[in-house]
Homo-oligomer: A and B are copies of this chain.
Amino acid sequence: MIYTLRIDCPDRKGLIYDITRVVFKHNLNIISNDEFVDNTLNHFYMRAEVEGEIQVEQVTAELYMVLPAGVIIQLLPQQKKNIVILVTKEHHCLGDLLLRYEFNDLQANILAVIGNYDVLEPLVTRFGIPFHYVTHEGKTREAHDAEMMQIVQSYQPDYIVLAKYMRVLNPAFVSRFPRQIINIHHSFLPAFIGANPYKQAYERGVKIIGATAHFVSNELDEGPIIAQNVIQVNHSHSARDMAQSGRDVEKIVLAQALKLVFADKVFVSGNKTIIF
């Protein structure tokens, strides 16, 4: 059995020695290992894949004893994550995830899809996945988000994926799922932050458009970036053409980001990510 060991703590001399001593004592084999020290925060991040007969609680307890106060230790079996997807009307990111899921190409189980419109319901049910239609009409944002949150919580997902969910989640919702909500933003952040970025891009006459996948947080503009990519455009592209090209970048960038997150390769450090 292979486990992923993730450690996140203040830096000090001898950390790797202390960690590997515990690992060695338990007769585990380290088959891959990455470390990074963020010098601006004096913080240490480590991700290792370890193999052997693992007594998870015992190993974790011994690691806590030798590591600095404030350490976060995770010793996770390598298995699929459970996710819930939120959508509005656009199909491209959702469709891509459904196909990957169906053909075992997504390291996650899609437990449910929730939409504030019902246009994507036929697509979702065709894949045998529950679809919840929760209209926002006639509701305050708080009431709508609370309704969404109740459904989300009933599934106890590891992650919530906003696959072109075109509403801003209120702070209560976001706080409830720290570093668990992943969004795909239809621009190369921090350019074109506002609404209708492809129209903005067209009017500015850019030669490249992009997309950004990021964690959703309340504190900061748009949250820590996980993945970004771009595509070339030119003067013959209308705003509509740019949006169409943009959809291809969006679905690829979201899939890239999710692959990294579901493999437990992403750490959040302030407003940045560290990705091994």
A interface residues (Cβ-Cβ under 8 A, vs B): 13-17, 20-21, 23-24, 27-39, 91-92, 95-96, 99, 102-103, 105, 123, 126-127, 188-192, 203-208, 210, 224-230, 232, 234-236, 244, 247-248, 252, 255, 269-275
Contact = CB atoms under 8 A, between A and B. Distances in A.
B235 A272 contact: yes
B29 A235 contact: no
Contacts of A28: 13
23 contacts: A13-B27, A13-B28, A14-B20, A14-B24, A17-B23, A17-B24, A36-B236, A91-B99, A91-B102, A95-B103, A105-B244, A126-B126, A188-B208, A190-B191, A190-B206, A205-B271, A205-B272, A207-B227, A208-B210, A208-B229, A235-B273, A248-B255, A252-B252
B29 A20 contact: no
For the residues of A in contact with B, the DSSP-based class is: mixed
A257 to B, nearest CB: 10
Nearest to A206: B225
Each complex incorporates copies of this chain amounting to 4
A205 to B, nearest CB: 3
B188 A204 contact: no
Contacts of A190: 191-192, 204, 206
Given A192-B190, A205-B273, A235-B274, A95 B99 contact: yes
A188 B190 CA distance: 10
Contacts of A225: 204-207
Contact of A103 (B13, B91, B255, B274): B91
A63 to B, nearest CB: 14
A230 B255 contact: no
B204 A234 contact: no
Nearest to A208: B228
Given A126-B126, A191-B191, A205-B273, 12 more contacts: A13-B27, A14-B20, A32-B236, A92-B103, A96-B99, A188-B188, A189-B191, A189-B204, A190-B192, A206-B225, A208-B210, A208-B229
A259 to B, nearest CB: 9
Nearest to A192: B190
Contacts of A126: 126-127
Contacts of A252: 248, 252
A54 B203 CA distance: 33
A14 B235 CA distance: 23
Contacts of A205: 224-225, 270-273
